[in-house]
């Protein structure tokens, strides 16, 4: 079972790497925000899988809760900010 959890977290980390390309290379700022949101959602799953690997789920689940809250509030704040400021002005190359 531990091997299965390790393999699953490695697959999810591969997906995180693929999303990181969109964060670095994305044409507009909105693409970067979406990439960060996707990475944060995958990170919650990876944190829980790490807790199952170390058999300390009851500690890791609180960290995952806090991470979910930070991910949601951060994405919402960034999207509200750039909705007012304009998407094209946030272009960073």
Partner 1 sequence: MMAIAVVLVSSGAFFLLMGAIGLLRFPDFYTRMHAAGKCDTLGSLLVLTGLACSEGLALTSVKILVMALFIFVTSPTAAHAVVRAAHRNGLAFWTNEEAR
Residue 18, phi-psi category: left (phi > 0), alpha (psi -120 to 50), beta (remainder): alpha
CA distance 79 to 57: 32
CB atoms within 10 A of CB 46: 19
Residue 76 CB, nearest approach to partner 1 (Å): 5
Q: How many residues at the interface with partner 1, by CB under 8 A?
A: 46
Rg (alpha carbons) of the chain, rounded to whole number: 16
The residue among 11 and 92 lying less far from partner 1, judged by its C-beta, is 11
Return the number of the residue (54 or 76) whose C-beta is nearest partner 1: 76
CA atoms within 13 A on the CB side of 18: 8
Contact residues for partner 1, defined by CB under 8 A: 1, 4-5, 8, 11-12, 14-16, 18-19, 21-22, 27-28, 30-31, 33-35, 37-38, 41-42, 44-45, 48-49, 52, 57-58, 61, 64-65, 68, 71-72, 75-76, 79-80, 82-83, 86-88
């Amino acid at each position: 079972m531990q091997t299965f959890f390790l393999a699953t977290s490695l697959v999810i980390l591969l997906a995180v790497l693929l999303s990181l390309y969109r964060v670095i290379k994305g044409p507009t700022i909105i693409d970067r925000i979406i990439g960060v949101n996707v990475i944060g959602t995958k990170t919650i799953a990876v944190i829980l899988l790490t807790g199952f690997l170390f058999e300390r789920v009851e500690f890791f689940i609180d960290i995952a809760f806090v991470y979910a809250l930070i991910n949601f509030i951060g994405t919402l704040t960034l999207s509200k900010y750039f909705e007012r400021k304009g998407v094209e002005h946030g272009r960073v190359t």
